[in-house]
Amino acid sequence: SAVISQKPSRDICQRGTSLTIQCQVDSQVTMMFWYRQQPGQSLTLIATANQGSEATYESGFVIDKFPISRPNLTFSTLTVSNMSPEDSSIYLCSVDRDRAEGYTFGSGTRLTVV
């Protein structure tokens, strides 16, 4: 299965600032996915990032708040903009390189906004 390196692993940020999260995959993948996991909750899909096109956002998530870059087939970033305490969550990236193996997830970024 794919190996994903995600960083930072955690951060504490001031409200009103922005944080960019990076995900690097060890092989080329068509789609990368970004999720949010609020405390004690399941995962919610934020957006799907395809290389060479705009990311596709799920209902309730907008590009101005969560801009995504996908410059090549092995890398993507998610920015959490103008943060508030409600953005405190774990953010995870994921890829589906091999359908037989299912989805692989990064180790997550634990964000606390103060």
Partner 1 sequence: GNSVTQMEGPVTLSEEAFLTINCTYTATGYPSLFWYVQYPGEGLQLLLKATKADDKGSNKGFEATYRKETTSFHLEKGSVQVSDSAVYFCALVDFSGDDKIIFGKGTRLHILP
Contact positions toward partner 1, by CB under 8 A? 1, 6, 31, 33, 41-43, 45, 90, 92, 94, 96, 99-108, 110
Question: Which of 100, 91, 94, 99 has its CA nearest to residue 39?
Answer: 91
CB of 65 to partner 1, least distance (A): 21
Question: Which of 20, 22, 29, 108 has its CA nearest to residue 72?
Answer: 29
Q: Considering beta carbons, is residue 14 or 99 the nearer one to partner 1?
A: 99
3-class SS of residue 28: coil
CB of 3 to partner 1, least distance (A): 12
CB of 106 to partner 1, least distance (A): 6
